[in-house]
Structure formats: structure tokens, C-alpha cells
């Protein structure tokens, strides 16, 4: 199939859209089948030839592409926002119809338009789309302390809800610039404000924003144990920082994507992992209800949003909807180490890794037995002592 994809902005008048381009005038006049969102239809309806057919782009997209296939013998003109290759509909066409031929007429995307209005250089901007997407990539950019973040929003991830999230996790070192109805000379609005101010404003759709870091926050390599909120104030109930860092090294998290922390207690391992490897998707499990509040307090204290917390018995947890982990740390087992290892290996990816820290000969024997039962093997066994007492053995097991 053949598509012509034309990028437009929110301009309301024909002359503002740039239709003085004679080539585009000829393209529109010589075609019959057009497609785009409802807003696009409103913007271009007056420009379309008589007896045209319009295909709305709306979910479910399977129905949209089924209608496209009804016109295999015709070239379809699609209107999209800004640059159709910038988180745009041209990418959707390529993914769903790899064989399709696409001709592009792009215009500036919304973040470019906002930067132009602000006279703000943007060659180093980190781009994040929250349009129909989760928070993960914004969280990652914030933890990595990107100095300039361009954010594409939607009706759920509004400038106000984004500001609330940043403040909740301590990213008060950013300012926000918001652009609404960009390209529309009558309705366009540009505002710059603090995050606190942004939480109290109303916004017109569509909009986008740019976050600018005013002062980086300290980035620790190894969070001091005393800095965490502890279970009942017991500082010993934590994986100590040197052990924590060595455990993360054994997990090889730079090369992993989905990490499970079983028996998280204070959340120190998950939080250290998220701090050092913000790309990770982390699922943290703890049987004690007190862990919920501890994790909530500590992730806010150390600016690490995005860790998903599960409270309850890991062996009873519904894991079917979670992506398969490729790295697992066992920090607590409640005497059910063999059962936990068996359940992990039912879900873990084929090249996954399990790390377990043992403080007793009994738990060492249990882990060796568990690994033997599931047909894995122990690749690394290290012994480490932080003082004259209670040496810890660190195990790394692979398939």
C-alpha cells in the first residue's frame, strides 16, 4: 500500500498551516481517501476535495488498518501532528505494514515549536513521551538527572500531574515551561512556572512541556545504611551497603531489564539498583505489611520513583501478569527458600541470574539444594565479612 503522511500543527486558518505550498495543494486535490484524528479532520476539512472519504484514526487501530486495506489500490493521505516520525503515526504504519510505501511532508513537532517560542537551544534535550505510555521513561530521565527534558503529554499525564509526581519524589530542582495549542496564533499559550505553580493551573489540549534542571542533586554510589528508614528502627535489618553493591555487581544489572527483589524489607537493594540503573523495571516483594510504608518513605527520600511494590506471601502472589525477570535477588525467604527458587525458575528468562546472600550454614545448604533441584548451577560463591563477626556468603546462580 501507499501512504502520503502530512504533518500539521494546531493552526486554525488555512494560511497558517502552510498550504501555500503548491505541491501540497496538488497532493490534496488529486486524492480521494484521507485519514487522521478528529482534531485533524476539523483543521483540514475545508481543504479537502468534494466527495472525499475520511477514515478516523481511533482505537482499536486494527479496525483502522482494516479500512486502509479496503483501499489497497488507492494512495491514502494521512494527516498527523508535527513530524509524523517523532512518536508519530508514520511509525505506526511502518510497524503494522512494513511493506507499505510512505512519502512524508513533515513540519515542526510540538517540542520544537515550544523551544522556538522560548528561544531555547534544544540539541541536548532528552525526549520522553507519556502519550498513552507509563511513567517509566520520565522516571529514568529524572533519576539520571537530565538537564533538559521535553515531555509529550496526554489527558492523564497532564502538566499538573507531572508536577505533582516530581514534587512527590523530591525533584523540586526543575522548572516547567508549558506550550498549549502550539501553532495556533489565536489560542496558543506559553507559560513558564515553578512545579508548585504548575500543580494549580488548568491546561488546554493539546499541550507539551519542557523541564529544565536548575541545580543537580548529589548522586551517591552506595547509599549509607543509616540514611534509610528502617523496620522498627532496627538498622541491622538491611543489606549492608558493601554487600548491596557487590550483590548488584553479581546481578550484572547493566545488561538486564526486569529485576525482582524478594524480601525487600527497607527497600535498600531495589532503591540502590534503581539509583545506579534507572533503566530497570523493578518488582519488589515483601511479606510484611510494614514494608509498604518503609518502601514508600525510602523511595521518596532517595528520589527513585517507579519501583512496583507487592505485599504478601511471594509463593501466593499472582505473577502471571508480570514480565519475566532476567535478574532476581533473594533478600528474605522465611524458611521457604527451596519453594521460592522453584517458583522463580518457573518465570525467569532462560539467561536469567539469581543472587542470594546467606548468613548461616543452614541457608547455604538450602540454597545449594534448591539450585540443584531446578537444574541450575552456582557460578560464583564469595565470602565477605564486614567485621569480625557474621561473615556473609554471596551466591550467584545461572541456568
Sign of CA dihedral 349, 350, 353, 358: positive
- In sequence order, which residues have a C-beta less than 8 Å from that of residue 265 and are 6 or more positions away? 231, 237, 238, 286, 288, 291, 294, 331, 332
**pLDDT band at residue 25 under the 50/70/90 scheme:** confident
Which pLDDT score, from 0 to 100, does residue 12 have? 52
Residue 303's region, left for phi above 0, alpha for psi from -120 to 50, else beta, is left
Nearest to 286 by CA among 269, 267, 311, 307: 311
Highest mean pLDDT among 12-16, 92-96, 356-360: 92-96
Nearest to 359 by CA among 327, 330, 338: 330
Residue 159 has pLDDT above 70, yes or no: yes
Residue 15 has pLDDT above 70, yes or no: no
CB 246 within 8 A of CB 222: no
Give the model confidence (pLDDT) of 350-388 as tens digits: 999 999 999 888 999 999 999 999 999 999 999 988 776
193 backbone dihedrals φ, ψ, rounded to 5°: -160, 170
Would strands 258-262 and 308-311 be described as parallel, antiparallel, or unpaired?
unpaired
CB 347 within 8 A of CB 325: yes
User: What is the side-by-side strand order in the sheet with 126-129?
Assistant: 126-129, 148-152, 207-213, 174-180, 189-194
> What is the chain's length?
399
DSSP per-residue letters across 344-383: HHHHS-TT-EEEEEESSHHHHHHHHHHHHHTT-EEEEEEE
What ranges in the chain are assigned the alpha helix state H?
A: 14-17, 22-29, 38-44, 61-69, 89-96, 110-118, 136-143, 159-168, 195-198, 241-251, 268-276, 290-301, 337-347, 361-373
Using a 10 angstrom Cβ sphere, with 0-12 exposed, 13-18 middle and 19 or more buried, the burial of residue 149 is buried
**pLDDT band at residue 235 under the 50/70/90 scheme:** low
CB 223 within 8 A of CB 241: yes
> Count of CB atoms within 10 A of residue 141's CB?
20
Rounded Cα–Cα distance for residues 211 and 163 (Å):
10
**Range with the poorest average pLDDT among 7-21, 141-155, 221-235:** 7-21
Residue listed under C-alpha cell 523493578:
282
Query: Residue range 142-167: average pLDDT?
Result: 97
**pLDDT band at residue 35 under the 50/70/90 scheme:** very high
pTM of the model: 0.88
Supply 183's cell numbers: 501553532
**pLDDT band at residue 2 under the 50/70/90 scheme:** very high
Rounded Cα–Cα distance for residues 27 and 46 (Å):
15
Q: Following CA atoms 220, 164, 156, 311 in sequence, which dihedral angle do they give, to the nearest 10 degrees?
A: 60
Supply 365's cell numbers: 545448604
Q: How far is CA 6 from the centre of its chain?
A: 28
Give the model confidence (pLDDT) of 45-89 as tens digits: 988 999 999 999 999 999 999 999 999 999 999 999 889 999 999
Supply 167's cell numbers: 514534587
H or E, element range at 177: strand 174-180
Would strands 2-8 and 101-105 be described as parallel, antiparallel, or unpaired?
parallel
> Count of CB atoms within 10 A of residue 261's CB?
32
Residue 20 has pLDDT above 70, yes or no: no
For 253, the 3-state DSSP assignment is: helix
Q: How far is CA 260 from the centre of its chain?
A: 17
Residue 324 has pLDDT above 80, yes or no: yes
Supply 214's cell numbers: 536548575
Amino acid at each position: 500500500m501507499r501512504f502520503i503522511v502530512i504533518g500539521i500543527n494546531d493552526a486554525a486558518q488555512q494560511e497558517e498551516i502552510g498550504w501555500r505550498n503548491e505541491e501540497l495543494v496538488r497532493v490534496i486535490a488529486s486524492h480521494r481517501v484521507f485519514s487522521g484524528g478528529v482534531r485533524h479532520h476539523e483543521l483540514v476539512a475545508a481543504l479537502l476535495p468534494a466527495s472525499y472519504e475520511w477514515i478516523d484514526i481511533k482505537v482499536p487501530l486494527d479496525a483502522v488498518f482494516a479500512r486502509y486495506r479496503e483501499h489497497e489500490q488507492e494512495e491514502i493521505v494521512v494527516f498527523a501532528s508535527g513530524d509524523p516520525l517523532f512518536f508519530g503515526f508514520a511509525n505506526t504504519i511502518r510497524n503494522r505494514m512494513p511493506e507499505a510505501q510512505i512519502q512524508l511532508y513533515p513540519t515542526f513537532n510540538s517540542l520544537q515549536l515550544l523551544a522556538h517560542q522560548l528561544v531555547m537551544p534544544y540539541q541536548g534535550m532528552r525526549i520522553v513521551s507519556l502519550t498513552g505510555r507509563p511513567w517509566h521513561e520520565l522516571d529514568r530521565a529524572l533519576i539520571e538527572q537530565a538537564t533538559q527534558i521535553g515531555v509529550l503529554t496526554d489527558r492523564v499525564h497532564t502538566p499538573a500531574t507531572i508536577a505533582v509526581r516530581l514534587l512527590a519524589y523530591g525533584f523540586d530542582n526543575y522548572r516547567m515551561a508549558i506550550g498549549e495549542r502550539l501553532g495556533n496564533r489565536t489560542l496558543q499559550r506559553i507559560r513558564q512556572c515553578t512545579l508548585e505553580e504548575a500543580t494549580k493551573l488548568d491546561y488546554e489540549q493539546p499541550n507539551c512541556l519542557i523541564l529544565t534542571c536548575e541545580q543537580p542533586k548529589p548522586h551517591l554510589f552506595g547509599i549509607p545504611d543509616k540514611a534509610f528508614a528502617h523496620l522498627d528502627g532496627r538498622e541491622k535489618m538491611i543489606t549492608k551497603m558493601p554487600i548491596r553493591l557487590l550483590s548488584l555487581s553479581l546481578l550484572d544489572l547493566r545488561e538486564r531489564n526486569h529485576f525482582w527483589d524478594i524480601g525487600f524489607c527497607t527497600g535498600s537493594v531495589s532503591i540502590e539498583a534503581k539509583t545506579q540503573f534507572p533503566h530497570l523495571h523493578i518488582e519488589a516483594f515483601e511479606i510484611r505489611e510494614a514494608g509498604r510504608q518503609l518502601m514508600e518513605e525510602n523511595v521518596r527520600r532517595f528520589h527513585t520513583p517507579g519501583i512496583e511494590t507487592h505485599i504478601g506471601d511471594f509463593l501466593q502472589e499472582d505473577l502471571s501478569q508480570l514480565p519475566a525477570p532476567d535478574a532476581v535477588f533473594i533478600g528474605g525467604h522465611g524458611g521457604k527458600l527451596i519453594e521460592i527458587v522453584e517458583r522463580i525458575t518457573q518465570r525467569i528468562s532462560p539467561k536469567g541470574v539469581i543472587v542470594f546472600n546467606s548468613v548461616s550454614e543452614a541457608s547455604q545448604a538450602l540454597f545449594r539444594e534448591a539450585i540443584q533441584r531446578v537444574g541450575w548451577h552456582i557460578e560464583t560463591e564469595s565470602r565477605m565479612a564486614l567485621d569480625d563477626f557474621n561473615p556473609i556468603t554471596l551466591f550467584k546462580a545461572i541456568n
